[in-house]
A and B are shown apart, each in its own frame.
Chain A
Amino acid sequence: MWWFVPIAALFLGIFAGQHAGIQIPAEMVKYLSIAILAALDSVLGGVRSLLEKSFNSTIMLSGFFANALLAALLAYMGDRLGVDLYYAAVFVFGVRLFDNLSKIRHFLINFIRTRKQRHAADWDGAPTGKTSSVLKEDRS
């Protein structure tokens, strides 16, 4: 149940953002939105790597900040240079986001399927302590 903590952290962040009185100028709304997209992509990538058991917190956090900052910076530079890099970033991060989402979905579906199969196998045979411990591990 450790994932409750990040969700609680998300709500804490939302709450803090609502009440901290942080105001950003209207011109920055565009860049912040692209930063959020990048950050969301990083988080989803982290979730995916977690499910694929290749998670590395340093990579995720560095990706989180670097992607967000770079995306905003690139969009800003693009605006200054007259190239709409904003749309490129939206496109790239959007594609990656959906890619990550689909992979997470696939993984979850596979996971549920295997669990059901195992469950059915458990019921067919005698339930052992080993199976349940495996399930517990998977769930974690």
Chain B
Amino acid sequence: MKRHRKTLAFSCAMVIMGILLSVQFKAQNTAERELYQQRPENLIAMIKNLTDKRSKLGSEMADLSDQLYDRRNAYEDQTLVGKSLEQELAKLEIANGTRPVHGQGLEVTFLSTSMVQYSDLITLTNELWASGAEAIAISGIRVNSNSYIHYRQANGGLEITVNNQPVTWPLKILATGDSNNLEKGLTLPGGYVDMMAYNKIYPTLRQKDDLELPAIKSPPHFYYLKEYVVEENTSGQPGETANQTAQ
């Protein structure tokens, strides 16, 4: 009985001891992590470490923001270059006739009854270019630097072709540009309209606010054409260049 009592008493004390110990162990572990429980030296070291880290991170941040700035600038430059290239391309395509255009201009209509010859169309195109036309389309066929106006035999008669495509009647010629100038260029005394009237052909001229001109269907290909590059004379002495060419 006595032995049981002492076992019980010790066990009781030990259980409580164990609980107290483990609780204290945990609490102490937690408390050591708390800043206010730390030693001043540790705290100073921690502050130093953190300051170093912070300054490092600050310099890294500055580097990165520099990089970002550079990249952004580069990107903007690229976009600018891209934009200007696109504009250049658009200009070239417009000039080349490979891009549809629209704008104010003049519409010249020949009725199907009028006896228009292909040479009349060539003259008309010439007159229009001379009057400041920026783009011309004959019967929906865009005229560019390679265009040719001719005729061919078909259905027992002759038909006018532009770029080897037959025109349709009533024949409509569209020209963009200053519509007043264009009209005046044709109607001036002794001009195109007078000349046509002499042949009993009376085209209708109509100024339009917005004309739509299609793109040419097959852009020109250059097989033999090469760009001519002017040789740069770096030394400024013509004799040397001649020698080099001879060699």
Contact = CB atoms under 8 A, between A and B. Distances in A.
Contacts of B19: 13-14, 16-17, 20, 22
Contact of A29 (B7, B13, B31): B31
Given A10-B15, A28-B27, A43-B14, A35 B20 contact: yes
A33 B30 CA distance: 14
A3 B6 CA distance: 10
A5 B10 contact: yes
A24 interface: yes
B20 A39 contact: yes
A57 B5 contact: yes
B190 interface: no
Nearest to A4: B7
A32 B7 contact: no
Nearest to B10: A6
Contacts, number: 113
A57 B8 contact: yes
Contacts of B147: none
B22 interface: yes
Interface string B1-23: 00101111111111111111111
B87 interface: no
A61 B28 CA distance: 26
Nearest to A30: B31
Given A2-B3, A2-B7, A29-B28, A10 B14 contact: yes
B5 to A, nearest CB: 5
B123 interface: no
Interface-central residue, A20, A36, A46, by most chain B CB under 10 Å: A36
B17 A26 contact: no
Interface string B72-92: 000000000000000000000
A45 B22 CA distance: 22
A9 B23 CA distance: 16
B37 interface: yes
Contact of A14 (B8, B21, B30): B21
Nearest to B34: A26
A64 B13 contact: yes
28 contacts: A2-B6, A6-B14, A8-B11, A9-B11, A9-B15, A12-B18, A13-B16, A13-B18, A14-B19, A15-B22, A16-B15, A16-B18, A16-B19, A17-B18, A17-B21, A17-B22, A23-B27, A26-B34, A29-B27, A33-B24, A39-B20, A42-B13, A43-B17, A46-B9, A55-B6, A61-B13, A64-B13, A64-B16
Interface of B: 3, 5-24, 26-28, 30-31, 34, 37
